[in-house]
Chains A and B, each alone.
Chain A
């Protein structure tokens, strides 16, 4: 089966500083993929680059195929059809993604007219249906409201409605709930999973919150310093992380129940993209780093069905984890 999206060797450099250093990803139809990693790891840049949304001075190379067709460097007219049509994106800060001086109707109808060949009453009816779908009460009246008349959670719902306007096959949700309160976050995540169930749309959920990703994705890719370091089904990753960085991330998360333990913090900080260490970028912070780690950058290698990890100490890391568990 051709994957919906397949990204190969995607690299991005800003002013000669590489920020994305060879990302390989593939996504099947209807699948939910999580991307986790700390700030600066390249989670968002991967998708901005794939959709041609980066500023012109960014140097992008590699390949991004949508249904087998190359879209990296495609003509603007072709990209206009892809963006908002086949692939939609929502961001962390929904308020700044809407135009404050236009009504919701104008903004929703604009998207519908662009991507759906609808006109007249049909556009308005569809706009109402979309608002209903995302759970905005009293849709008919609320269509004439301006963005500031909605709460943060509702604005994110409207952004989701706009993203759905083109009937996309893939929704890229970049930290969609980070700016929202806990109870509203739960509402938005529930809404996204309901919509996915009904439309069998694929989703990429970019988040720094491991819990959010664990609960809402089938598969997870962990990114560090512009590369994918581990890829696994969500339940396996959290039960049995292999890459020392993935282990560190999970160990750094305080538990909500059970006994309290001291958090296993990862020492040091993320390396500066302009001064990357030679070899594995994580080696300077890694407890298991050995001499060969400095020599070459480890490649993402399969270790089991549907699991891959980029670490030459993966075996040792696994033993260390089992050793801790056995004690």
Chain B
């Protein structure tokens, strides 16, 4: 197995939120004690519902936001302080693409100019070399130089996302954070972009952190997958294995909630209750109010993420606690 490129250890991040104009500020724990390792050339998928802290994790990993606790190591070295020269050099090696390509592009600039911008900022190559690189990047994302002369408004959603991808690849990064990159695209276009990402990853040896709520897309592209719920990782494991045999009750519900053509909803787990509110995090296991199998201990004690064999780690008293062992023995 290859060496880790990104090592995240027990990062936490909370925001102050005020309810109403005169309300008291409460701390919202967006991310709480998340540890991850992404090996070189591999893809880690991060899934979870809105408010689970997926995107905040992505931003911290990229150094766009400092963690309150914990640290992120990139290629064996700690992240440099934001704004320094070392930070800039490190940032050129990591890039991000977002869900909304139109929001990420400047509508008043031809897209080729925007692809070129990171090269100008990081001072890579002579002007002629930069032009060549832009053409090469457009080819890499299966577009033509004619597309480069257009403005974002004159391109389709899929083409815009390719431009954003080309721009992200301009500085030859080692690491790419993709935050819901295909969620806004139609199914047929989504497949084009997913295939392109897989191809580029194989060609360039990219390491990816792929954030999405779509389990199918995540499985398609990821080597390992981490499932987040209210700022914590509740289960992590190899992609195929995790979706074939989810162990955490939340992962089981998520997998079962993903509708599939040709499979009628027999034995679907429908969770009761609302999606979790990060501002009112329940005591104990954050999932226990919605968990169909919760026991008394779940309401008081936060389950730790522990190994359950193979590459799987689960944070659930029912899977890792003494009850689980006695049940297995019985």
Contact = CB atoms under 8 A, between A and B. Distances in A.
B262 A253 contact: no
A186 B158 contact: no
B219 A39 contact: no
A262 B50 contact: no
Determine chain B's interface SS by DSSP, over half rule.
helix
Interface stretch (B34-42, B78-86, B188-196): B188-196
B284 to A, nearest CB: 19
Contact of B191 (A189, A255, A256, A264): A264
Contacts of A39: 186
Contact of A38 (B188, B195, B213, B260): B188
Nearest to B272: A187
Contact of A256 (B195, B216, B290): B216
A183 B271 contact: yes
A215 interface: yes
B220 A263 contact: yes
A212 interface: yes
B270 interface: yes
A263 B262 contact: no
B187 A249 contact: yes
B204 interface: no
A184 B275 contact: yes
Given A239-B262, A257-B243, A260-B220, A186 B271 contact: yes
A269 B195 contact: no
Interface stretch (A112-120, A123-131, A203-211): A203-211
B262 A235 contact: yes
A185 B257 CA distance: 8
A238 B261 contact: yes
Nearest to A234: B261
- The winner among A38, A184, A256 for most chain B CB atoms within 10 A is A256
B186 A215 contact: no
Contact of A255 (B156, B216, B259): B216
A193 to B, nearest CB: 8
Interface residues of B, number: 45
Interface residues of A, number: 45
A38 B187 contact: yes
B274 interface: yes
Contacts of B258: 182, 211, 256
A154 B192 CA distance: 35
A182 B49 contact: yes
B244 interface: yes
Given A182-B49, A265-B188, A153 B261 contact: no
B219 to A, nearest CB: 6
Interface string B165-193: 00000000000000000000011111110
B191 A153 contact: no
Contacts of A151: 274-275
A264 B187 CA distance: 11
Interface in A269-306: 269-270
Contact of A253 (B50, B187, B253): B187
Interface of B: 49-50, 156, 158-159, 186-192, 194-195, 198, 213, 215-217, 219-220, 240, 243-244, 253-265, 268-272, 274-275, 290
Interface of A: 38-39, 151-154, 181-187, 189-190, 208-215, 235, 238-239, 248-257, 260, 262-267, 269-270
